[in-house]
Chains A and B, each alone.
Chain A
Amino acid sequence: NAGVTQTPKFRVLKTGQSMTLLCAQDMNHEYMYWYRQDPGMGLRLIHYSVGEGTTAKGEVPDGYNVSRLKKQNFLLGLESAAPSQTSVYFCASSYSGPTGSLPQHFGDGTRLSIL
């Protein structure tokens, strides 16, 4: 049982390049999230999804796009990378049902540097 898997783990981009971060979960969770973590800022929500085919903006969505074509996958795209997007990115998934909001399961993170 892999849980939440993020690829890649590290990446260096040049300003203006594009890339896609992949998140895959094998727990059949409805909810998936993308966060970025910067020093002193905690976890900030970029985009989230409450089910296959649906996405919504979080706290800091600008410069990012997402897609959830399959329930188990949640993709985060950077169309034109900027140095301000240098960060550690975390994907998470969770279940929320009759028993209430359950803990999020996090991937190991992707360290992204934009030069």
Chain B
Amino acid sequence: AQKVTQAQTEISVVEKEDVTLDCVYETRDTTYYLFWYKQPPSGELVFLIRRNSFDEQNEISGRYSWNFQKSTSSFNFTITASQVVDSAVYFCALSPPSGGSYIPTFGRGTSLIVHP
């Protein structure tokens, strides 16, 4: 069975602070995919990143960076110099390999509040 844990229910920071959102997962699959989604106050869910379990390179996209560590089953998301527009609920998700029943498992989300 798959499981995704986002232990931080809510994080509150002041603008320009760096913030890391934690994601820990459990799976028996050797191949899997990890995702991060953003849900701003407007409510839509927006895809941010996909990571293949074979690729442990960290990724940076502007102020966003992701740290994938297979040894600790973690896929953490860092926002550098946070901005008010980063305020949202962030979901981490885990998917098994393609084929069969492709059913992603979502964490419960971390609500990030960035104060001006």
Contact = CB atoms under 8 A, between A and B. Distances in A.
Interface string A84-115: 00001010101011111111111011000000
Contacts of A105: 47
Interface in B40-55: 43-45, 47, 50, 52
A42 B102 contact: no
Contacts of B104: 101, 104
Interface string B3-44: 000000100000000000000000000000101010000011
Range, interface on chain B: 20 to 34
Given A96-B99, A98-B98, A100-B33, A43 B43 contact: no
24 contacts: A31-B102, A40-B9, A40-B108, A42-B91, A42-B107, A43-B106, A43-B109, A48-B103, A50-B101, A58-B103, A92-B45, A94-B102, A96-B102, A99-B98, A100-B97, A100-B98, A101-B95, A102-B50, A104-B35, A104-B45, A106-B45, A108-B43, A108-B44, A109-B43
